[in-house]
Structure 1
Amino acid sequence: MNEGATGTPEPGLILRTPRGRSFRFDPGALCLELLLTSDPGGLPWSLETLREPADLVRWAGESRLPDGPRLSVDAADLDRARELRGALWRMTIARARGEELAPGDTDVVNAAAARTPLVPAMTPGGERTWAAGATGTAMLSVVARDAVDLFTGPYAHRIRVCEAHNCALHFVDTSRPGRRRWCAMGRCGNRNKVRAHRARTAGPGDAGE
């Protein structure tokens, strides 16, 4: 997991746009971080990053999962990760629209959650980690169980999709008023403010610009 200037872990993953700009984005849940490995739904600048087992190992290390022993991941785990990711993408879209979840998608999540998960352990320094023998299947079980908690919990009605026309990042709205519209104010939020300001201040001759 990435660390900030104070040495404490910073939530979220580093994403990059087609122009090479990088930014940190925290979707608010482990299961939604898996969606950032590609774009099952058509995000124009996103690319598939789970091409081989080592890619899934790298994602786990960058995610909000506690650090632990290196995962043992095979090709079957990679296929399961992509299947789980697709189900989570469709479920997130459905929740954001207030629609029912598709049984086929919840079946995928439930099957992954039913597998033996990573076993938690602690270090002599009191830090949380995972016991030795960690596998990709066990890690995906943790991700799926996180999804069950999210989609059945108090924030299930606050799963959002960024409202910017050229962004499709998904997140959990944990703000107190529950009216978050953008993936991040420093990105899409500010751009929308600039557009709105220009629209308000533009003169008649600027309408076509």
Structure 2
Amino acid sequence: MTARATEPPGLLLRHPDGQTFRFDPGALCLELLATGGPGAYARFEVLTGPGELMAWVAASRLPPGLRLAADDTGAAAARALRDALWGVVAARAHGAAPAPAGLAAVNAAAAAPPLVPLIAADGTRAWAPGEAPVTALLSTVARDAVDLLTGPHADRVRECAARDCALLFVDVSRPGRRRWCSMERCGNRHKVRTLRARRADGDAP
């Protein structure tokens, strides 16, 4: 993942197959899911330590300038919340009830004091002075999940339509017809497969 100060919204992801593509899941909590996950998603793991957690913060939709007192324990806590979020959000995307343990983990993180924003002298959004604890970051992420899953776009939380992709996003477009995590990756691959199938049908006797 890389920071995106002057780039289009979303995270710049690198798939294990080498392709780099931009993915905008539409919410802060969903951006955390792009860092890896439980089970089969472990091969995408990038939150291996405090430095990697800070890199995610810089690349996320959080306003710049946040100072975080991150350590290995904090990175582990971020991974634990992310894994719990995977289950809760995926259940919502599939119209299922989330596991009680995952829901409890998200609610517990949300109960901690969140990050403290300020209005800077130039009118921009800034952060309270000093280093914020990782618990405040995770509280902010968890509260974002609460807002998403109980808000007006809760029914638009979806899984990418590609058979080999499980990335989750919220469709905030007006028509509400988004199907793919990214047109750069899964959308274009679908177009290529469809075109090849049509050509094959045309060549068939």
TM-score (norm 1): 0.88
1:47 and 2:44 are equivalent in the alignment: yes
Structure 1: segments with no counterpart, 5+ residues:
none
By how many angstroms is 1:20 displaced?
2.6
Distance 1:59 1:113 in 2: 19
Task: Name the residue aligned to 2:136.
Answer: 138
By how many angstroms is 1:47 displaced?
2.5
The aligned runs of 1:21-40 (5 Å cut-off) are 21-40=19-38
Q: Give 3-state SS (helix, strand or coil) of 1:37's partner.
A: coil
Check whether the contact 1:43–1:167 (CA below 8 A) recurs between aligned residues. no
Identity %: 56
Change (3 A) 1:88 1:206: farther
Change (3 A) 1:100 1:69: closer
Task: Name the residue aligned to 2:96.
Answer: 99
By how many angstroms is 1:28 displaced?
0.4
Question: Cα RMSD (Å) of the superposition?
Answer: 2.0
By how many angstroms is 1:41 displaced?
4.8
The range that moved more, 105-114 or 180-189, is 180-189
Q: 2:121 aligns with which of 120, 124, 130?
A: 124
The aligned runs of 1:7-26 (5 Å cut-off) are 10-26=8-24
The aligned runs of 1:179-198 (5 Å cut-off) are 179-198=177-196
The aligned runs of 1:142-157 (5 Å cut-off) are 142-157=140-155
The aligned runs of 1:60-75 (5 Å cut-off) are 60-75=57-72
Structure 2: segments with no counterpart, 5+ residues:
none
By how many angstroms is 1:202 displaced?
1.1
Distance 2:22 2:117 in 1: 27
- 2:80 maps to amino acid: E
The range that moved more, 81-90 or 52-61, is 52-61
TM-score (norm 2): 0.90
Deviating 4+ runs (over 6 angstroms): 204-207
